[in-house]
A and B are shown apart, each in its own frame.
Chain A
Amino acid sequence: MTMPSAAAKVRPEQESAPLLSLRNVNKSFGAVHVLQDVDFDAHLGQVTALVGDNGAGKSTLIKGIAGIHAFDSGDYQFEGHPVTVHNPKQANDLGIEVVYQDLALCDNLDIVHNLFLGRELTRRRVLDEATMERRATETLAGLSVRTVRSIRQQVASLSGGQRQTVAIARSVLWNSKLVILDEPTAALGVAQTEQVLKLVRRLADRGLAVVLISHNLNDVFEVADNIAVLYLGRMAAQVTAREVTSNQVVELITAGRSGSIGLAPGAEPEDVIAEQAEIVGVPSTEDRSREEQP
């Protein structure tokens, strides 16, 4: 397949090479071609928003990046080197962390336990609670989180924003370079959304590459440096946030192009439109991929 969209793509000028760089990535589930020749970059110190309508392939893209289901074809480069990421462990080893929408926290455990879940620090096979608690305290302080009363309280007692904070803190506790946030503000109120967005910005300011999936363009324009728009499984454009308007992004999301930006006219194969109905109606891509995880 040719790449009609590449010419029309407006790339943000980058002084540095991207941390994560995907080129011509494809992914199909059975007959459904969910991702078609997608290019995607994420830079250190920047928030890259990933937007697109339901079924555009956002989840599939991040699951591919996170190794939950590998891409069928395409180049996956991390820190300038081609890498293979076929399972979440490989992604974690590279320094890629994903904060899922449902946060995946254990309500019956406290904040420290949740932060170190599955990667507990031990000394002579005994849990090293003191070190874990100290590192957890330092991490939360480093993220300027001051809303948590006690680090030893159960996660069940936290508010939505605090839970989100814990989940994000967990993703940066490790040697992470790329943090992917799946709709972190979807279930939050105004004040809490503000808190979490500030936290997202702080992550990028600390030198991490952040990928933010969001449906809320206000949020996106508030924190994002770049905006990548997926349209029916193709990358319509990846643009610098301050060079586009909210209306242009809406057009990119709904029509795949806006003026000179986006997919070239006629670049959209008929079958893609036919597929869209299927894609939208196929929640199974997500469900199936969950089951595939080890």
Chain B
Amino acid sequence: MTATTVADEETPRLPTPAPRELGDAVRDYVARVRGGDVGSLPAVLGLVVLVIVFSILRPETFTNAFNLSNLLHQAAAVTVIAMGLVFVLLLGEIDLSAGWTAGVSGAIMAIAVTREGWPWWLAVILGLLTGAVIGTVIGLLVAHLGIPSFVVTLALFLGLQGVLLKLIGEGGTIPVRDKVLLAINNDNMPVWLGWVLFAVVVGAYALVSLRRATARRAGGLQSEGYSVIVAKVVVLAVLLGAVTLYLSRERSRNPAVASITGVPEVVLLLLVLLVGLNFILGRTAFGRHVYAVGGNAEAARRAGINVRRVKQACFLFGSTLAAVGGILIASRDNSISPTSGGAETLLYAVGAAVIGGTSLFGGKGKILDALLGGLVIAVIINGMGLLNQPSAVVYMVTGVVLLIAASVDALSRRRAAATGRV
């Protein structure tokens, strides 16, 4: 008798299942949400409700194009830090130091470019390296020494605050005057480039969806029907098209002096990060291993996954992306002060990830969550500011929203446990 592999044996070719058309897709989605797998739905609904409320309360100021671009600039740094936190949260770990990592990385970059006169790109690389080093240290302490990430990053939360103070000096600030650095989170793309970007994004999405469906159909697997693909592409095109159109309008208060039009440059950065990181988490073996470690570290280890290396890499991603956030903060504020990346930056970032649908318990979350959650938080801060509410109220409202998001997470988990989903 010879050893045979079950998988290698001839098995009758199974009939190709019919493509999943729009009706089935909607039914599946409703079933998923009912089963407790709400995903980003609360964030999307929250965003819609908040936008409607603020639009009614402040129809003039909230809805104008200037405010929309302003909002995107405000959201950028927190969103990028939140994207990094998604990696850490997926493991079921936490990085409390992400805010100050942003501050310190931004400060190092600012020192390099302003005090030392380095070219902007070299300063940016140095800033990113700072984040990478911090992430590596956290990874070593958590993954190899086995200290809980809460404690490690709490220590760094305090320590990095001191480092930032030391770097800048009491009461001082480091100005950033480099044109390129300031452009990153202040300037806008030419209008035509905004539309090119729109076309590329929608076109690429349509192409990738179609190719996947065709490949799956050819391989005898269930695929998405054309109706689903067309519906998704149309929704994406309408949403992005509306935003691009709105941002293409003249929004300067005094167009004769300085014209302000076009999609903010930082949107391009956010899109690149969204697509790139999404690819890493969703389409590579490493990304799959991140979810596996977050879901069941012991099972991952027995399956031959190097759990330590995965954790190490996730903290590296987290802190490096926090450094990107620090650069955006420096660009937006034109300077780095001892409070840059401090105060509520970290909590907003964690809040953004959780509001977007990333679970604090690990194993569940997407990069898109950070973007949606970041927008929700930015809309709250922005809208409350326009309502002339004092910081006290802004903090309280943000706290309540975060609590609601965490409750949705916990409730959906309970629901999921009851219906056998995670």
Contacts and interface: CB of A to CB of B under 8 A. Distances in A.
> Is the pairing of A and B real?
yes
Interface of A: 16, 19, 44-45, 88-89, 92, 95, 100, 102-109, 113, 117-120, 122, 125-127, 130-131, 133-135, 137-139, 141-143, 154, 156-158, 172-177, 203, 206-208, 293
Contacts of A113: 288, 291-292
A108 B295 contact: yes
Interface string B192-226: 00000000000000000000000110011100000
B301 A293 contact: yes
B299 interface: yes
B299 A104 contact: yes
A141 B404 CA distance: 44
A44 B422 contact: no
Nearest to A45: B1
B302 A293 contact: yes
Contact of A109 (B1, B221, B291, B416): B291
Contacts of A141: 11-12, 14
B14 A104 contact: no
Given A106-B291, A109-B291, A131-B219, A139 B299 contact: no
Given A102-B298, A134-B219, A207-B4, 10 more contacts: A16-B1, A107-B296, A109-B295, A118-B289, A137-B221, A142-B6, A172-B6, A175-B5, A175-B8, A203-B6
Contacts of B416: 156
B302 A130 contact: no
A88 B304 contact: yes
B14 A127 contact: no
A135 to B, nearest CB: 6
Given A118-B300, A125-B284, A157 B1 contact: no
Interface of B: 1-9, 11-12, 14, 215-216, 219-221, 283-285, 288-289, 291-292, 294-296, 298-305, 363-364, 416-417, 419-422
A223 B260 CA distance: 78
Contact of A157 (B215, B298, B419): B419
A203 B4 CA distance: 10
A138 B14 contact: yes
Contacts of A127: 283-285, 288
Nearest to A15: B1
B406 to A, nearest CB: 19
Nearest to B419: A157
B7 A172 contact: yes
Contacts of A138: 7, 11, 14
B303 A117 contact: yes
B7 A156 contact: no
Contacts of A293: 301-302
B215 A130 contact: yes
A19 B220 CA distance: 36
Nearest to B279: A126
A127 B363 CA distance: 18
Given A105-B299, A107-B295, A156-B420, A119 B304 contact: yes
B219 A130 contact: yes
Contacts of A156: 416-417, 420-422
A141 B9 CA distance: 11
Contacts of B8: 175
* Binding site secondary structure of chain A: loop
A107 B297 CA distance: 11
Most chain B CB inside 10 Å of its own CB: which residue of A138, A158, A175: A138
A125 B422 CA distance: 28
Nearest to A115: B7
A85 B163 CA distance: 50
Nearest to B305: A118
Contacts of B283: 126-127
Given A108-B291, A108-B422, A176 B303 contact: no
B292 A157 contact: no
A89 B420 CA distance: 33
B219 A207 contact: no
B290 to A, nearest CB: 11
Contact of A134 (B221, B292, B305, B364): B221
B296 A19 contact: no
A95 B299 CA distance: 19
A107 B421 CA distance: 8
Contact of B216 (A92, A130, A207): A130
Contact of B302 (A104, A122, A172): A104
A134 B14 CA distance: 9
B296 A105 contact: yes
B14 to A, nearest CB: 6
A251 B174 CA distance: 83
A106 B6 contact: no
A10 B257 CA distance: 101
A236 B421 CA distance: 46
Nearest to A176: B5
